[in-house]
Structure 1
Amino acid sequence: MSPAIIAMIIIIAALVVVIIVLTILGKRAQRKRDEQQVEIDKVAQTYSMLIIDKKKMKLRDAGFPQFVLDQVPKRMLGRKIPIVKAKIGPKISSFICEPDIFDMVPVKKEIKGTVSGLYLTGVKGLRGALETPEKKQGFIDRLFNGRK
């Protein structure tokens, strides 16, 4: 056999091993996420709240207590995450918002929000339906379809 064929066989075998390892790790991570989602849904409560502000910011700049920051992995402290400041009754609280509902959260309006600990997991309009913002056009869509 020539050295080129041997090199190709080694590269293909390495790629197969990498794909198998990534599949196993992906299934394990998905199973862990599903278990966490069940726990979050179990303790969720619905509150009427007035949204004061929402923005993507670093966790240490969001104003969470020190014991919360101590429990967060170090790599997450520098990452920007969606934060919502809301008034529930007389108390103003900061919540970590789910990324898929962050755009639906209206500012300076009253909503019914599903809260699980520090996580805002769902929103409903208190007076009528919430407006869903239009999705931004990507670069490829603008390139082929023109600007709208």
Structure 2
Amino acid sequence: MNTLSIVLLVILAVLLIAVVALYFLGKRAQKKQEAQQEQIDAMKQTVSMLVIDKKRMKMKDSGLPQAVIEQTPRLLRGSKFPVVKAKVGPQIMTLVCDEKIFDMVPVKKEVKAVVSGIYITDVKGLHGKAVAAPKKKQSAFRNAIEKLQEKAGAKPLK
């Protein structure tokens, strides 16, 4: 055997070990996420609230309680996440919103939201109808490209 085949075998072995390690780490992370989802489902309640403002902001600028900031891992403290400021009953609260529904949350409107602690998991209109996400404006260039693709019979861009 020459040195090239030995190097390739070593690289293959390292890649195989990395794939196996990632597989087991992924399974462990999935179990943790399922346990967290069970806790969220156990604590959820429907609340009527008036949404004052919503933004994506860093944890230290969000106005969340200090206990929440201390419990967050250090690596995530600098990243931006969706924050909703809402009036729930007589008090104004800062809540964390699920990334999937952040665009559907209407500003300056009263909604019924499913809340688990300080985490908003779902939003419905005041009378039970689902709130639609606002359509994003597209640039003229993007519209022109989509028209040309439609003319040519190609699949539209997403």
* 1:98 is the counterpart of 2:98: yes
Q: Which runs of 4+ in 1 moved over 4 A?
A: none
Percent pairwise identity: 51
Paired with 1:10 and 1:99, the residues of 2 have a C-alpha distance of: 42
Mark the structure with the bigger radius of gyration. 2
Paired with 2:7 and 2:17, the residues of 1 have a C-alpha distance of: 15
Paired with 1:28 and 1:131, the residues of 2 have a C-alpha distance of: 35
- Show the counterpart of 2:151: none
Instruction: State the AA in 2 paired with 1:36.
Output: Q
Q: Per-residue CA shift, 1:5-25, capped at 9, x if unaligned? A: 111111111111101100110
Instruction: State the AA in 2 paired with 1:131.
Output: A
Q: Per-residue CA shift, 1:19-67, capped at 9, x if unaligned? A: 1100110010011000110011101011000100001000110111222
- Show the counterpart of 1:86: 86
- Show the counterpart of 1:146: 145
Q: TM-score w.r.t. structure 1 length? A: 0.89
| Gapped regions of structure 1 (runs ≥ 5) | none
**Contact 2:123 2:130 (8 Å CA) reproduced:** no
Instruction: State the AA in 1 paired with 2:16.
Output: V
Paired with 1:3 and 1:95, the residues of 2 have a C-alpha distance of: 59
Q: TM-score w.r.t. structure 2 length? A: 0.84
- Show the counterpart of 1:4: 4
Instruction: State the AA in 1 paired with 2:132.
Output: E
Aligned-CA RMSD value: 1.8
Report the alpha carbon displacement of residue 147 of structure 1 after superposing the two structures with TM: 5.0
| Gapped regions of structure 2 (runs ≥ 5) | 148-158
Report the alpha carbon displacement of residue 68 of structure 1 after superposing the two structures with TM: 2.0
Paired with 1:106 and 1:3, the residues of 2 have a C-alpha distance of: 64
Q: How many residues align?
A: 142
- Show the counterpart of 1:129: 130
Paired with 1:54 and 1:15, the residues of 2 have a C-alpha distance of: 44
Report the alpha carbon displacement of residue 133 of structure 1 after superposing the two structures with TM: 3.0
Q: Secondary structure at 2:99's aligned position in 1?
A: coil
